[in-house]
Amino acid sequence: MSASKTPEISEVTVQQIVDLGNETRHYELAFPEGKRVQFTAGQFVAVLCPHQGKVIRRAYSIASPPERSDQLDLCIKRVEGGVVTNWFWTLKVGDRIKVHGPFGKFILPEPADFDPLFVATGTGIAPFRSMIHHLLKSGFTRRIDLLFGSRYETMIPYDAEWRRLAEDHSNFHYLPTISRPGAGWTGETGYVQTKIEPHFGKTAGRRVYICGLNEMIQAVREACLQRGYDPKQVEFEKYD
């Protein structure tokens, strides 16, 4: 069995494709039998997409925990006119593609001696899915919070999974907030940045991780700083 610690190009096989709604899909990519690729929760890979005789690279955060070193999960939203995302939509189970990695420094320290708050919108959830599963699998006992913002309640990737984790782990807390709720929605409403003050006002012993588009990141970061968080307590990775 081989295990890679440094970035390398690997061929992977599409093992499963799950439609998450809102033009978003979950892809499970399996390494060849016997191969393992070691990565740290929060890192990403570059997908190598063949296009008109050239190769286009696109970075995607790994959405699976490092404990599953025999596969990579990706969470991808289809972009209108996007060469790589539309190519992904043509893939079928059994197809083989190439990825290069892992890369990235948007990771948790070891050990994590704080209560992490993960804030995301859209596919910004991907690195946090890796981090949260890793923390829970490793026996992390401190409080973990996931704050996820969406326009509609039908547009939350992995919603049922988060709810199951919250039921199974008393230290994991899931707070989705909807900016355009339907008549049947009874949970939080509004944008993620408006939830920092009422729900996460206690700054001691906490660190905030934010992932998504830059406008949201800056709004959440500003809300944290206004509440009294030290800039060193707030880390982020933007997708635009």
Task: Tell whether the model's pLDDT for residue 3 goes beyond 70.
Answer: no
- Helices assigned H by DSSP within 193-232: 196-199, 214-227
Residues near 5 by Cβ (< 8 Å), separated by ≥ 6?
38
pLDDT, average across residues 8-15 = 97
pLDDT value for 135: 98
pLDDT, average across residues 146-170 = 97
Q: 2-103 has which fold?
A: Elongation Factor Tu (Ef-tu); domain 3 (2.40.30)
Architecture of domain 115-238: 3-Layer(aba) Sandwich (3.40)
pLDDT, average across residues 113-125 = 98
pLDDT value for 2: 40
Percent of the chain residues past pLDDT 90, beyond the cut: 96
Query: What residue segments make up the domains of the chain, in order of their start?
Result: 2-103, 115-238
| 4 pLDDT tier (thresholds 50, 70, 90) | very low
pLDDT, tens only, 69-82: 999 999 999 999 99
pLDDT value for 240: 83
pLDDT, tens only, 188-228: 999 999 999 999 999 999 999 999 999 999 999 999 999 99
pLDDT value for 5: 65
- Average pLDDT over the chain reads 96
Are both 2-103 and 115-238 of the same fold? no
- Helices assigned H by DSSP within the chain: 83-88, 126-137, 159-168, 196-199, 214-227
- Helices assigned H by DSSP within 143-213: 159-168, 196-199
